[in-house]
Amino acid sequence: MEIKSIGVVGAGQMGNGIAHVMSLAGYDVMLSDISQDALDKGLSIITKNLDRQVSRDKITQAERDTALARISTTLTLTDLGRSDLIIEAATEREDVKNQIFETLKPALAEHTILTSNTSSISITRLASRTDRPEKFMGFHFMNPVPVMQLVELIRGIATDHETYKACLAVVEKLGKTAASAEDFPAFIVNRILMPMINEAVYTLYEGVGNVNSIDQSMKLGANHPMGPLELADFIGLDTCLAIMNVLHDGLADTKYRPCPLLTKYVEAGWLGRKTGRGFYDYRGETPVPTR
């Protein structure tokens, strides 16, 4: 099937980025959230990011205007039901995702493909709670969506080949690259990335180095564009902890045990850039390490 219309659930960091790239690629996009403030903020971010692309000659003013015109918003989740493809990009909580798919169920067209942008939760398990496990798969974008080139495509045990081919065609139309991953906890990218971040937090926790020395070591010693603690703040420490818990619970291996310091930061509400404090304090002109 050819996908022409796309529904995006969630106007946050990932959802607005997905809506941005989909509209720019020529798809009609309907963006949904539970609050008008979230929708307004999401559209504002999309506009700002498109304007930045115009200023850098990545796109033309006409392409920017056309992309914005392709995006509509709604507070009513079931309005997305007639879309050819729905991408759920809500918070990384399985109960929330299940409730979204349950609400969508009666409004879905027969041909609609359901996908989740989950970074770690079992696609097979999410699919089993819907009425179309064969038309369900993982569609995992990297953050920030307009910049990052990779999309992980994850098939559940029931996902059929037609669904996979349709989603692969979307990735190719976006000009991005698809990596096919099997449905195991955290898939490929986060299965490798999150334990590295967790180990960096253990290195801090055990006093092997401070925030600055750990990040500098990985930037200058391993040529990483961002240090692991800086990257954790960018991703969100709550998201990092949630993925480590999925790995720990799903694989039952102590090497995935979340660092107690990571848990402490999350309990304090120091979640990184989005809350103004994490391993760095972002409330001043320049970020300052908190340890």
Known binding residue 12? Answer is yes
Q: What angle do CA 179, 84, 162 make, to 5 degrees?
A: 50
Ramachandran class of 66: left when φ > 0, alpha when ψ lies in -120 to 50, beta otherwise = alpha
Known binding residue 274? Answer is yes
Q: What angle do CA 172, 177, 183 make, to 5 degrees?
A: 105
Known binding residue 11? Answer is yes
Known binding residue 99? Answer is no
* CA–CA gap between residue 202 and residue 291 (Å, rounded): 13
Known binding residue 156? Answer is no
Q: Using CB atoms within 10 A of its CB, is residue 45 exposed (0-12), middle (13-18) or buried (19+)?
A: middle
Known binding residue 10? Answer is yes
- Annotated catalytic residue within 49, 117, 122, 152: 152
- Annotated catalytic residue within 23, 32, 116, 119: 119
Known binding residue 92? Answer is yes
Q: H or E segment at 152? A: strand 150-155
- Annotated catalytic residue within 32, 116, 190, 198: 190
Q: 190 catalytic, yes or no? A: yes
Known binding residue 22? Answer is no
> Which is nearest to 101 in space by CA: 21, 90, 72?
90
Residue 136 and residue 156 in contact, taking contact as beta carbons nearer than 8 Å: yes
Known binding residue 176? Answer is no
Known binding residue 119? Answer is yes
Instruction: Identify whether 146 is preceded by a cis peptide bond (ω within 30 of 0).
Output: no
Q: 140 catalytic, yes or no? A: yes
Known binding residue 33? Answer is yes
Strand partners, 6: 29, 85
Q: 119 catalytic, yes or no? A: yes
Q: 152 catalytic, yes or no? A: yes
Residues in the annotated binding site for NAD(+): 10-15, 33, 92, 97, 119, 143, 274
Residues in the annotated binding site: 10-15, 33, 92, 97, 119, 143, 274
> What residues are labeled active site?
119, 140, 152, 190
